[in-house]
Chains A and B, each alone.
Chain A
Amino acid sequence: MNTDLSTPNLPTWCPGCGGYSFLTAVKKAIIKNNLAPKDVVITYDIGCSANMVNFINLCGFATLHGRSIPVAVGVKTANPKLTVIAQGGDGGIVSEGGNHLVHASQRNDDITVLVNNNYVFALTTGQASSATPKGLKTRTTLQGNPFEPLSAIDLAVVSGGSFLARTPVSDLNKTTEIIAKAIEHKGFSLVEIIQPCVIWTKELLKPSGQWVKEPFTKRESFLGRHDLWGILYNK
């Protein structure tokens, strides 16, 4: 078995992009969980992070912008033996695909959603997304973003998701560990990967957060707390 999971293609991300570290974390988590590449499906969104489809050797499916979740749900329903992961950026999962996020979470679909949050539509050159922090200047919010950001975790927690976690991509070990646990979880799991962009959201490159020691028991406890890292909920 090909255990390094590499493909003939070298990543095309910008130097210093969090994508490299995310790719390594996903590979490590799959190896850690002892999964055969043929039994792992990752459905990808369209975006910078989604370009990973070409860089990891398993059953990768580049779907459409906003649609990695419903494709994953179909795959898992058709063949429950497969490990099924849906990838997407903040644009894909929260903006374009928000309805799918909320409903997969409501149904507690047995998939893992990995959200690479760089706070903007990066591949389309840095426009503000639904997840852009309030006040942040982007190419489409020259006076600063007027809106409070939407958070994938907040949306999932109010609609029913059973495993919710947030991790900065800069911490490779923690990110690997959390992704591995999310994959093992039965039911809907979501990991928000804080992955600021070296081109469009430079000012957010040093995220600060507080690691939680153990998951909360009440959903209300971490709703709106975007500074909390770790496994926030695990039911």
Chain B
Amino acid sequence: MERYALKISGPAGAGVMQAGETLSKALNRLGFFTLVYPEYPSRIRGGDNHIQIIFSQKPFLTPREKIDILLAFGKKNFEEHKGELKENGLGFESSEIGLEKIAEEIGNPLVINTAGLGFLWSVLGFKREILEEQVNKDFEDKPKVLDLNLKAVFQGFGLNQKESFKIETPKTKKEIENYSGNEILTKAILNADCRFASIYPMTPINSILTLLSDREIKLFRPEDEIAGIMAAIGASYAGKRSMVATSGGGFSLMVEGLGLAGMAEIPLVLVLGQRTGPSTGMATFSSQADLNFAINAGHGEFPRIVLTPGDAEELYRLGLEAFNLAERYQVPVILMTDKYLAENRLSILKDVLGKIKVKIDRGKLAEGKELDGYKRYEFSLDGISKRAFPGQTAFITNSYEHNEYGFSDDDSQNRQKMMEKRAKKLESLKGGFEIFGKKGAKTFLVGWGSTKEILLDLIDDFPQLGYLHFWRPWPFPKEVKTILKEAEKVIVIEGNFSGQLASLLEKETELKTEKILKDDGRPLFYHEIRERLRKAER
């Protein structure tokens, strides 16, 4: 199935991100699936912001190293990217094609991006009305600038005199929705009935903070990430579903809180949007290098769950599930995304998300008579004790090792039993991975998190491959061994320098793996991964 790649580049503030949203949504109206991959430096004005829009009649798409069409706002941006054009690709620079002039005539420099979209749309050979419909929608509540933008589309469209691309539009009409990863996750957070979130800004989770503002949720803007996780723990203890969201740097500060949630058995959802590290790294670029950290963060030993969704549907489902898991097992749940998944715009068939129903399960709760002589940490077969909340009865919650009542206790036997109790809680967990591609394949690809779409795109073209995706690498699902041991070659593909999942997999299964790794902040490009796979398969 044919995939097309467009790139729009301009200085920060030129409206490149908005253009990507409008264009991809207009493409969705034609029935195309789209992926928008934005790349931008950590600055607010100037520089080079660019987006890649990949579209096709099939879902699951991967960014490309080589592009079909480039539109750059300004000469500098054009020079920066023209080398990425395919041999038969088409490159356009705004002043050369006259976009600045249009904006000037219309009398508003901000419409230059919409004029550019009009132009691109005609190069693609699509009907102008479709783009106009989308622009109408985007400026629905800004009637003053709507007309200016429609004018810009019209005039931009008219600029193109050349032969246009001949792209077949989808025959059957599909309704396609288009969201950023963070938008999807925010939907899940609200639909899971989460009632408290503490978030200190940090790329790539910033838009969760803005999307949750003024919604049915208490949003705490803490003085630092330590306060953030502590307040979320307080809110959960007081009976509300609660969460924090951060990136690696903030998570480093939160680690003591993670241990507190583990020891005091406080349910907590922690969204960890990865970006490159160590330290400040490349602040606006993606990475998958925090898997070891998420699994091991904290002193002492306590149970936790690590979720690693990879596409729109899974992100939504696990976003909902995370709160159930946290409350059912009374553990911290770390839901990992990364800059790639969080800020890409993903497309998905309409109603797919709407059909995902996860019933809210708040786990074991003490009621009525159970509140008399209540023991917060009562021993039980599955290790899980009933929760009560302040306001129901007086009881002790403790970061020190404690007895069943919650009182501090250094007794050796009690300690052993409490460690066993907490460890036992996750023993019954099932699942954690999904298999795609060929059954019994000789070569199995293995990945986790945001590489899912990329690898699904790849196996479309390589049907002889098997592919195992981890959506919950921790607790490690031991059953994968029985599947992977049948393969002749296991190739782990991940976005970090040392092969963190590969090490985990080797340790847990005693299987040998080969690795395809990349941690330069950029996604695994389609042709790059194909090339490296060919080498690894040899």
User: Is B one of A's binding partners?
Assistant: yes
Within 8 A of B (CB), among A49-65: 51, 53-54, 57-64
CB pair A59 B394 closer than 8 Å: yes
Q: B124 within 8 Å of A by Cβ? A: no
Contact present for A53 and B398 (CB under 8 Å): yes
- Contact for A78 among B230, B238, B392, B408, CB less than 8 A: B238
Give B322 Cβ to nearest chain A Cβ, in Å: 18
CB distance from B217 to the nearest CB of A (A): 11
A81 to B226, CA, bound (A): 25
Interface string of B395-411 (1 = CB under 8 A from A): 11111100000111000
Q: Are A78 and B407 in contact (CB under 8 A)?
A: no
- Which residues of B are interface residues toward A (Cβ below 8 A)? 195-196, 198, 218, 220, 222-224, 226-228, 230-240, 242, 256-257, 260, 264, 389-400, 406-408
Q: 18 A-B residue contacts at CB 8 Å?
A: A38-B393, A59-B397, A60-B406, A61-B396, A62-B396, A63-B399, A64-B257, A67-B226, A67-B256, A67-B257, A71-B233, A73-B227, A73-B231, A76-B234, A78-B195, A78-B239, A79-B239, A100-B230
The complex places the Cα of A4 from the Cα of B257 at a distance, in Å, of 33
A150 to B145, CA, bound (A): 55
**Is the CB–CB distance between B238 and A79 below 8 Å?**
yes
**Which single residue of chain A is at the shortest CB-CB distance from B228?**
A70
Digitize A68-89: 1 where CB-to-B-CB distance is under 8 Å, 0 elsewhere: 0111111111110110000000
Q: Are A103 and B390 within 8 A (Cβ)? A: no
Q: Looking across the interface, which residue of chain A has its beta carbon closest to that of B260? A: A64
Q: Are A64 and B238 in contact (CB under 8 A)?
A: no
A41 to B235 CA separation, bound complex (whole angstroms): 12
Instruction: Contacts A41-B390, A70-B230 known; list 7 others, CB within 8 Å.
Output: A58-B394, A62-B397, A64-B256, A64-B260, A74-B236, A77-B234, A82-B390
Set of chain A residues within 8 Å of B391, measured between Cβ atoms:
38-39, 79, 81-82
Residues from chain A with Cβ under 8 Å of B236 in the complex: 74, 78
**A75:B235 contact, CB within 8 angstroms:** yes
Interface centre among B228, B232, B237 (most CB of A within 10 A): B237
A23 CB to nearest B CB, Å? 15
Q: Which among A41, A59, A69 has the greatest number of chain B C-beta atoms within 10 A?
A: A59
- Docked pose: A9 CA to B228 CA in angstroms: 33
- In the assembled complex, which residues on chain B have CB atoms less than 8 Å from the CB atom of A18? none
B229 closest partner in A (C-beta) = A70
Determine the chain B residues whose CB is within 8 A of the CB of A62 once the complex forms.
396-400, 408
A74-B260 CB under 8 A given contacts A62-B397, A62-B408, A63-B230: no
Determine which of A2, A8, A53, A103 lies in contact with B408 in the assembled complex, contact meaning CB atoms within 8 Å. Answer: A53
The CA-CA distance from A54 to B230 in the complex, in Å, is 21
Asked if A43 lies at the interface with its beta carbon under 8 angstroms from chain B, I say: yes
Q: How far is the CB of A36 from chain B (nearest CB, A)?
A: 8
Check A74–B256 contact: CB distance below 8 A. Answer: no
Q: Which residues of B contact A79 (CB under 8 A)?
A: 238-240, 389-391
Minimum CB–CB distance for A112 against chain B, Å:
15
The reply to whether the CB of A37 lies closer than 8 angstroms to some CB of chain B is yes
CA distance A78 to B260 in the complex (A): 19
3 A-B pairs with the lowest CB-CB distances in the bound complex, closest first: A74-B234, A74-B231, A70-B230
On whether the beta carbons of B231 and A77 are closer than 8 Å, the reply is: yes
Set A2, A46, A73: member contacting B234, Cβ < 8 A: A73
Minimal Cβ-Cβ distance residue in A for B238: A78
Which positions in A face B, CB cutoff 8 Å? 2, 7-9, 37-41, 43, 46, 51, 53-54, 57-64, 67, 69-79, 81-82, 99-100, 102-103
**Nearest A-chain residue to B399, judged by Cβ:** A62
Q: In this complex, which of B223, B392, B398 has the most chain A Cβ atoms within 10 angstroms of its Cβ?
A: B223
- Cβ A38 vs Cβ B394 within 8 A: yes
Q: Are A54 and B407 in contact, CB atoms less than 8 angstroms apart? A: yes
Which of A38, A53, A77, A100 is B223 in contact with, Cβ under 8 Å? A100
Residue in B closest to A74 when the chains form the complex, CB atoms: B234
Q: Which residues of B contact A58 (CB under 8 A)?
A: 394
Chain B nearest CB: distance from A156 CB in Å? 14
A37 and B230 contact, CB distance less than 8 A: no
Q: Is the CB of B238 within 8 A of A75?
A: yes
Q: What residues of B have a CB within 8 angstroms of the CB of A53 in the complex?
A: 396, 398, 408
| Choice from A2, A43, A67, A77 contacting B196 with Cβ under 8 Å | A77
Q: How far is the CA of A70 from the CA of B253 in the complex (A)?
A: 14
Nearest to B230 among chain A residues (CB) is: A70
Q: Give bound CA distance, A103 to B232, whole Å.
A: 16
Residue in A74, A82, A99 with the greatest tally of chain B CB atoms within 10 Å: A74
Q: Which of A2, A38, A82, A103 contacts B238 (CB 8 A)?
A: A82
| Complex CA–CA separation, A96 to B531 (angstroms) | 53
User: Is A75 touching B226 in the complex (CB atoms < 8 A)?
Assistant: no
| A1 shortest CB reach to chain B, Å | 10
How far does the Cβ of B23 sit from chain A's closest Cβ, in whole Å?
Answer: 41
Choice from A46, A51, A70, A82 contacting B231 with Cβ under 8 Å: A70
Nearest CB of chain B from residue A14's CB, rounded to whole Å: 17
CB B193 to nearest CB in A, in angstroms, measures 13
Complex contact B398–A71 (CB within 8 A): no
- B residues near A40, Cβ cutoff 8 Å: 390, 394
User: How far apart sit A87 and B351, CA to CA, in the bound complex (Å)?
Assistant: 50
A74 to B396, CA, bound (A): 17
Q: A54-B408, A72-B234, A79-B390 are in contact. Are A103 and B223 (CB under 8 A)?
A: yes
Residue of B nearest to A58 (CB): B394
- In Å, the complex CA distance between A70 and B224 comes to 10
Q: Which of A58, A62, A70 neighbours the largest number of chain B CB atoms within 10 Å of its CB?
A: A70
CB–CB A61/B264 < 8 A: yes
Complex Cα distance, B396 from A40, in Å, reads 12
User: Closest B-chain residue to A103, C-beta based?
Assistant: B223
B408 touches A74 (CB 8 A): no
Q: Which residues of A contact B223 (CB under 8 A)?
A: 99-100, 102-103
Which residue of B has the minimal Cβ distance to A63?
Answer: B399
Q: In the docked arrangement, what's the CA distance between A75 and B226, Å?
A: 15
**Cα separation A67 to B233 with both chains bound (whole Å):** 11
CB-based nearest A residue for B371 = A38
Assembled-state Cα–Cα distance A179/B148 (Å): 64
| Contact yes or no, A103 B407, CB < 8 A | no
How far in angstroms is the closest Cβ of chain A from B431?
A: 31
Q: How far is the CA of A100 from the CA of B226 in the complex (A)?
A: 9
Does B407 lie within 8 Å of A9, measured CB to CB?
Answer: yes
- Cβ 8 A contact of A74, one of B224, B233, B397: B233
Contact B390 A38 (CB under 8 A): yes
Distance to closest chain B CB from A3 (angstroms): 12
Most buried by A among B389, B395, B396: B396
- Give CA–CA (A79, B234) in the complex, Å: 10
Decide if B232 touches A74 in the complex (CB within 8 Å): yes
Q: Report A-chain residues with C-beta under 8 Å of the C-beta of B407.
A: 7-9, 54
Q: Which residue of B lies closest to A101 (CB)?
A: B223
